[in-house]
Amino acid sequence: MPEPIASDQIAAANEPLRAALARDYDALGERLDRRGIAIDAIKDKVAGFSVAVPSWGVGTGGTRFARFPGPGEPRHIFDKLDDCGVIHALTRATATVSLHIPWDKADPADLLAKAQSRGLSFDAINSNTFQDQPGQPLSYKFGSLSHTDAATRAQAVEHNLECIAIGEALGSKALTVWIGDGSNFPGQSHFSRAFDRYLDAMRRVYAGLPADWRLFTEHKMFEPAFYSTVVQDWGTNYLIAAELGDKALCLVDLGHHAPNVNIEMIVARLIRFGKLGGFHFNDSKYGDDDLDTGSVDPYRLFLVFNELVDAETADAAGFHPSHMLDQSHNVTDPIESLMASAMEVQRAYASALLVDRTALAGFQDANDALMASAALKAAYRTDVEPILATARLEAGGAIDPVAAYRASGYRAKAAAERPAVAGGGGGIV
């Protein structure tokens, strides 16, 4: 395995950048001070913010047409954890990894040992009933938790219960369920009966949750089914969470909405009713494109975080969302994309912390649309990079993670030590 990037390597990469960063941080501190904002308080909040990396994200993704693997692809979950360790060592923003079962099945003791050696722990466990596994008795071709056949539904329930058991051994505290169930032809599926079957199956999964666990259900508008999808939007997702109980919460994947949908408003609704479980971050142009977070529309990401910070500031009941990146890297080094994306999420958070909420509330009450918008823009336009970089530096990370990563030669070492294998775990989810 390639050696992890050592702290002295990171320090060496930081050295030429330290003095300029200190000046930039002081200058920004002075500007924020004029707005009544203490820069150190913002930096401390950023330092405490972490977003999970999905294990499958460190493999090269692809499309239904092709996949173009890069050099040094991780061959299995232990390689993936090595790569996740590099992302966290440099960014100090990704302390947890989210596993996908059965892709990442391994001895829990070995998984824990590897994760601990890389300073990582485990986030939500993701179940998989959207594809068939070798030797699986019953097929999910026509659905899983909502399948017309009771034995197929039971098999899907059993898989989710196994995921919970694996997660318990790893210290996870949540199960994320996304299903591909749906139909391609009008009339193919009875909408209400399919949903009833899904709810019945999910009640059995919910009954298997440990007391301190949460169950996240993830909606998706379309794909792989293109006419109807059983868990298609946030309204259906809310109904599921309300039917199942207090431990059931809605997960918002930014790519799983129709174009132009006001996602930040959905976030506000779910917060208001205590049902926001968390996020899968990515960006998109057309649908579930799984592009890098913040690469296309960073302002939308900021507006989502504006709602999150609003709830955090108001201490909204039951508000502790779980954050994960969920994107597919087709033309970049996945480690670089995941580092850049983790920083984009932190950037949106830091920017949202700068919103003058008292002034904004005043503009809203006075129906001053222009000034309300300007209050958000004033926060968004402030370059918070010195805050993010200083938080990383103080935590032992890199001022410029991508540059430090390239200087380390990690990818070339991984390529030398990881012979390419067929079907080596690249991920499109």
Binding site for Mn ion (CB under 5 A): 253, 280, 326
What lies within 8 Å, CB to CB, of 240 at 6+ separation is 198, 199, 202, 217, 231, 248, 250
| Residue nearest Mn ion, CB atom distance | 280
CA distance 105 to 425: 12
Residue 249: strand, helix, or coil: strand
Residue 292 contacts residue 337 (beta carbons within 8 Å): yes
CA 85/CA 88 separation, integer angstroms: 5
DSSP state of 16: G
- Answer yes or no: are the C-beta atoms of 293 and 329 closer than 8 Å: no
| Shortest distance in whole angstroms from residue 350 CB to Mn ion | 24
Q: How far apart are CA 328 and CA 429, in angstroms?
A: 8
Shortest spacing between CB 280 and Mn ion, in angstroms: 3
Residue with smaller CB distance to Mn ion, 42 or 52: 52
Task: Pick the closer one to Mn ion by CB: 100 or 114.
Answer: 100
Least separation in angstroms between CB 349 and Mn ion: 19
Q: How far is the CB of 117 from Mn ion (least distance, A)?
A: 28
- Residues 357, 154: Cα–Cα separation, whole Å: 49
Q: Minimum distance from CB of 8 to Mn ion (Å)? A: 37
User: Which one, 251 or 343, has the nearer CB to Mn ion?
Assistant: 251
Q: Could you give the CA distance from residue 402 to residue 335 in angstroms, rounded to a whole number?
A: 9
Phi and psi at 209, nearest 5°, equal -75, 135
Closer Cβ to Mn ion, 284 or 390, answer by number: 284
Q: Give the three-state DSSP class for 411.
A: helix
Q: How far is the CB of 73 from Mn ion (least distance, A)?
A: 21
Nearer to Mn ion, 415 or 428 (CB): 428
Q: Which is nearer to Mn ion, 96 or 351 (CB)?
A: 96
- Minimum distance, C-beta of residue 172 to Mn ion, in the bound complex (Å): 17
* CB nearer Mn ion, residue 43 or residue 257: 257
In whole angstroms, what is the distance from residue 185 CA to residue 225 CA? 9
Any idea which residue has 């960073």 for tokens? 298
What is the DSSP-derived secondary structure letter of residue 283? B
